[in-house]
Amino acid sequence: MTTTKSKVVYSPTFTDGAEFQIPTFKLLKQDGSLYKGGKAPALKKDKALRIYKAMVTTRVLDERMLAAQRQGRLSFYMQCTGEEASVVGSTAALDDADMIMAQYREQGSLAYRGFTIDEFMNQLFGNEMDYGKGRQMPVHYGSSKLHYMTISSPLATQIPQATGYAYGQKLAGKGHCTITYFGEGAASEGDFHAALNMATVHRVPVIFLCRNNGYAISTPSVEQFAADGVAPRAYGYKMDVIRVDGNDILAVYEATQAARKMAVEENRPVLIEAMTYRLAAHSSSDDPSGYRSKDEEAVWREKDPILRMQRWLQKKKWWSEDEEKQLQESLRKEVLETMKRAQKRSPPPLESLITDVYDKVPPALNAQFEKLKTHIRKYPEAYPKSANDAAITSKGGA
């Protein structure tokens, strides 16, 4: 058995660590210029524009779909607004084959990796082309081809799952890692601590990225913890940690790139605390005016991560106002047209209701399915035509 050597004292000595505060890594000012002494990461123009377009796509999608929810066209929605740099910047620093285990506000990761507007809409409306076959709430995306694990509603479950998946990646030895996203509220769950402990004990290639946006729904950070944020918790598990300005796309990108190198090459798990702010409500069910002021929001609107990157791109002559206008117009048009098509698509086939869980559908489940079809035949006016047709023609299960 090995033991850790520590400093020995001969009288009671207490410390709460308050004398030390973890610094925040920054590179990019809000006007698009670099801080003195800061050096931009080696981002080529095509990749920088891929990042920026993913951020703008996410913002436009969020604006339009929240409006659709308010119109009663969609049951629920969650926006990434204000946190795009934390999400897209970190995703861009990974290999596209690395696994992403998201919480529920990381649609920017999918946008960066090529998830189409059509794919977003199919999931949101739960139609026949939805990969989840209508079984999930809106914004609970998943894509096996893009290495994005399907989102689960229960808070923080993805964090220990990321550790376990990364352990498998370590055994496979193919040079990949897992990143898992969560908020500072989720970091108060026991799953967070179990995951960090397992990750360091087994030395697995996982990056824990905490989006510290100041609120766990309506609970402010000061009512969640008394310490210096989430980052110091890494010390208790002997884990490498960095705090970064989550609205600074260049800092997020560089920090994640360095974290990935440590994770993949040395099997050293890393915790990143991205200091950011959600400019929107927690979800379409939330009203932030009940727990934060307009003045507070205004301060953070001045720190908009998209505007910050846009100004940096313009200073480098990689982007123009005309290109911005064209991008905004084309995205808004695409989102509206795609939404209309997705709404008109049929729901998933009735038979898909009992597939994908068992290799062979068990008799008890088949019996329940037969009762459902009988019910539909009895009340056909309450169900879509496709369900009625399936209830009439389908015999004996899926």
The angle at the Cα of 341, spanning 324 to 349, to the nearest 5 degrees, equals 135
The residue annotated as part of the active site, out of 291, 358, 375, 377, is: 291
Q: Is 291 a catalytic residue?
A: yes
* Count of Cβ atoms closer than 10 Å to residue 264 Cβ: 20
User: Sign of the CA dihedral 56, 62, 64, 65?
Assistant: positive
278 is catalytic: yes
| Annotated catalytic residue within 105, 113, 140, 278 | 278
Residue 312 CB: number of other CB atoms within 10 A?
Answer: 25
What's the residue count for the chain? 398
Distance CA 304, CA 308 (A): 6
> What amino acid occupies position 245?
D
- The answer to whether residue 202 is catalytic is no
Choose, from 243, 260, 268, 282, the residue flagged as catalytic. Answer: 282
Catalytic positions are: 278, 282, 291
